[in-house]
């Protein structure tokens, strides 16, 4: 291994000062740009303790949409070289406006997804997966077993073997996770509250003008924003 015990990921993360960035940090109770905890909103249908529970898993990753899924550095890989590669890729891709967001239930968890598919963001994600793959160590046997427990399709199994993750390339779906998996009754109640909070954020196109390199120091630690790189003008 590289000797670096952390994990890295490349995300789309909204600017921390933007309305979308502020919403994400407040809803999850965590600001990945500063590493600070944030007070979560008070909502009518769940207690503060339950809201903390159902946002625990997405909180650990920070508010984001995954472009290159989390990975451990390969043997001989260098984080400075990874950082430079992310900056170089960002400089090659133009900033663009993606379709607006919509609140969606995705396999039981609630997320913000694009209102329709966007070839530009699909291409950006595919480029991140392929171009940063030289920095990725192979997944462990335990990680492979965990992924395969989700009853992967043959196409997803092939992607797992090739890229270390089953939901990339043609299986990629842009999403910004807001909750853990919820049963239908609780999910419906939470979604009604969420819909009110996100409605103003879903009225305009999504500005995709940067990509970000994140790091997790250890598996039980939250991810932190290392660097945000502007896409080309």
At 227, is the secondary structure helix, strand, or coil? strand
What was the pLDDT predicted at 3?
A: 60
Domains along the chain with CATH numbers: 7-118+175-230 (3.90.1140.10)
Q: Which long-range contacts (CB under 8 A, 24 or more apart) does 12-19 make?
A: 12/64, 12/65, 12/67, 12/121, 12/174, 12/208, 12/210, 12/211, 12/212, 13/62, 13/63, 13/64, 13/65, 13/210, 13/212, 13/214, 13/225, 13/228, 14/63, 15/210, 15/228, 19/200, 19/201
- Binned at pLDDT 50, 70 and 90, residue 2 comes out as low
pLDDT in tens, 73-99: 999 999 999 999 999 999 999 999 999
Cβ–Cβ < 8 Å for 160, 147? yes
Question: pLDDT tens digits, residue range 15-34?
Answer: 999 999 999 999 999 999 99
Distance CA 74, CA 132 (A): 11
The C-alpha angle 232, 14, 212, rounded to 5 degrees, equals: 60
In whole angstroms, give the CA distance from residue 26 to residue 198.
Answer: 12
Q: What is the pTM of this model?
A: 0.94
Q: Evaluate whether 164 touches 136 at the Cβ level (below 8 Å).
A: yes
d(C-alpha 223, C-alpha 70), whole Å: 10
pLDDT tens for each residue of 164-208: 999 999 999 999 999 999 999 999 999 999 999 999 999 999 999
Of 55, 65, 59, 57, nearest in space to 9 by CA = 65
Question: In this structure, is the dihedral angle defined by the CA atoms of residues 7, 10, 16 and 19, taken in order, positive or negative?
Answer: negative
Mean pLDDT, rounded, for 150-155: 92
pLDDT greater than 90 at residue 150: no
Using CA atoms, how far apart are residues 101 and 113, in angstroms rounded to an integer? 5
Percent of the chain with pLDDT over 70: 99
């Amino acid at each position: 291994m590289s000797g670096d015990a952390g994990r890295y990921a490349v995300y789309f993360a909204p600017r921390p000062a933007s309305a979308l960035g502020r919403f994400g940090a407040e809803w999850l109770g965590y600001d990945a740009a500063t590493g600070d905890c944030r007070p979560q909103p008070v909502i009518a249908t769940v207690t503060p303790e339950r809201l903390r529970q159902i946002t625990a898993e997405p909180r650990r990753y920070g508010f984001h949409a995954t472009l290159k899924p989390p990975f451990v550095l390969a043997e001989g890989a260098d984080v400075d070289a990874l950082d430079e590669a992310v900056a170089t890729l960002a400089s090659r891709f133009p900033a663009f406006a993606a379709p607006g967001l919509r609140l969606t239930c995705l396999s039981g968890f609630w997320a913000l997804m694009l209102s329709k598919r966007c070839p530009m963001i699909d291409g950006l994600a595919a480029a991140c997966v392929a171009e940063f793959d030289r920095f990725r160590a192979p997944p462990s046997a335990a990680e492979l077993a965990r992924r395969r427990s989700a009853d992967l399709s043959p196409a997803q199994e092939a992607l797992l073997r090739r890229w270390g993750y089953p939901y990339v390339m043609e299986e990629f779906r842009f999403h910004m996770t807001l909750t853990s998996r919820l049963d239908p009754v609780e999910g419906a109640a939470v979604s009604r509250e969420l819909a009110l909070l996100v409605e103003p954020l879903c009225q305009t196109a999504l500005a995709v003008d940067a990509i970000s390199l994140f790091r997790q120091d250890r598996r039980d630690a939250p991810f932190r924003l290392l660097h945000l790189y502007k896409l080309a003008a």
